[in-house]
């Protein structure tokens, strides 16, 4: 087992405990979060009400009338020791294919209204991202953004919004700052980017992430009327692995019509993700991982 940072435990009032496993985000830190959250869900001590994993931390809501705080703390510390660096664990999850219309007219129109809040007012968001990451042009950047899978590190901030971490070695990760000042508008289902995270905006609203494109795939359905939402109103789950697939405007319009007809389905396949084999051979492991979508 490799050396890992000891967790930091903090109490939040009478009902919450917050556990920080690392100060910096990494796939390794997030995988430890997922492993501990999974173990806690399986154990599910009486009094544990909610388990919320995040990028490099997690939070537990509990009933102090049922579960003593120090008893819960002992359980969490024991799970931390059991999981260790989590390199030898396999996590059951899914691979989802998300179609993306890059450089779409709606995010392009929106971003042009907010150039005074951007680092490069003369370029679009995706042109700026391609340039500062050293890509020859936008097409090469799109190939990089869509060419590797993304690990869903957490879901939240607003209802159903997934944060996704690129599954490549750190020196190949796309890194793009957020806007200098947030926008007051972002189209629903925008594929955005901030720091090292890609995201999908689940609803229309304010935002500060760079906008690269838009997906026709709904990711949040509070009415649960669409076929992908019969079990829950949010599509993504922490640890979901995502493959972004570029599409053209014709395919986008076809998918929108399918959504309106209630026939659109996100392609999703069950997989097991193991951290150590990925770290040993990221490109080979990703290729095998994505074969389930073929």
Tens of pLDDT, residue by residue over 213-226, are 999 999 999 999 99
Percent residues over pLDDT 90 in the chain: 90
Q: Would you place residue 26 in the very low, low, confident or very high pLDDT band (cuts 50, 70, 90)?
A: confident
Candidates 108, 104, 141; CA nearest to 215 is 104
Domains of the chain: 8-85 (3.30.1360.40), 92-293 (2.40.100.10)
Q: Assign residue 224 a region: left if phi > 0, alpha if psi is -120 to 50, beta otherwise?
A: left
pLDDT at 2 over 60: no
Average model confidence (pLDDT) for the chain?
Answer: 95
* C-alpha distances in Å from residue 72, one per residue of 45, 86, 140, 241, 267: 8, 21, 49, 31, 39
pLDDT at residue 3, as a whole number: 62
Q: Would you place residue 25 in the very low, low, confident or very high pLDDT band (cuts 50, 70, 90)?
A: confident
pLDDT at residue 86, as a whole number: 86
Average pLDDT over residues 163-190: 96
Per-residue pLDDT tens for 98-143? 999 999 999 999 999 999 999 999 999 999 999 999 999 999 999 9
Token code pair at residue 223: 């009415």
* C-alpha distances in Å from residue 144, one per residue of 13, 97, 149, 169: 44, 16, 10, 13
Q: CA gyration radius for the chain?
A: 20
Token code pair at residue 184: 């007051």
Token code pair at residue 65: 């009338």
pLDDT at residue 5, as a whole number: 80
pTM to 2 decimal places: 0.90
Candidates 4, 54, 19; CA nearest to 34 is 54
Summarize the chain as % helix, strand, coil (round to 5).
35, 25, 40
């Amino acid at each position: 087992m490799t050396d890992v940072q000891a967790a930091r435990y903090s109490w939040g009032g009478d009902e919450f405990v917050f556990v920080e496993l690392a100060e910096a985000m990494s796939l390794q830190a997030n995988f430890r979060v997922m492993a501990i959250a999974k173990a806690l869900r399986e154990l599910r001590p009486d009094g544990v009400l909610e388990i919320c994993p995040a990028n490099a931390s997690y939070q537990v809501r509990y009933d102090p009338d049922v579960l003593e705080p120090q008893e819960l703390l002992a359980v969490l510390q024991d799970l931390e020791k059991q999981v260790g660096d989590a390199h030898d664990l396999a996590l059951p999850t899914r691979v989802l294919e998300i179609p993306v219309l890059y450089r779409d007219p709606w995010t392009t129109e929106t971003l042009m209204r907010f150039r005074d809040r951007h680092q490069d007012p003369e370029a679009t968001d995706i042109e700026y991202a391609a340039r500062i990451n050293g890509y020859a042009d936008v097409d090469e950047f799109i190939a990089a953004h869509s060419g590797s899978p993304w690990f869903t590190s957490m879901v939240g901030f607003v209802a159903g919004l997934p944060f996704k971490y690129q599954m490549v070695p750190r020196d190949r990760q796309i890194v793009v700052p957020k806007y200098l000042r947030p926008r007051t508008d972002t189209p629903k289902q925008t594929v955005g980017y901030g720091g090292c995270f890609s995201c999908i905006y689940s609803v229309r609203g304010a935002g500060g992430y760079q906008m690269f494109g838009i997906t026709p795939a709904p990711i949040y359905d509070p009415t649960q009327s669409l076929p992908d939402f019969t079990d829950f109103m949010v599509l993504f789950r922490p640890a979901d692995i995502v493959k972004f697939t570029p599409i053209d405007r014709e395919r986008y319009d076809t998918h929108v019509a399918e959504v309106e007809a209630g026939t659109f389905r996100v392609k999703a396949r069950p997989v097991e993700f193991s951290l150590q084999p990925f770290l040993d051979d990221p490109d080979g492991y990703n290729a095998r991982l994505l074969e389930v979508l073929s």
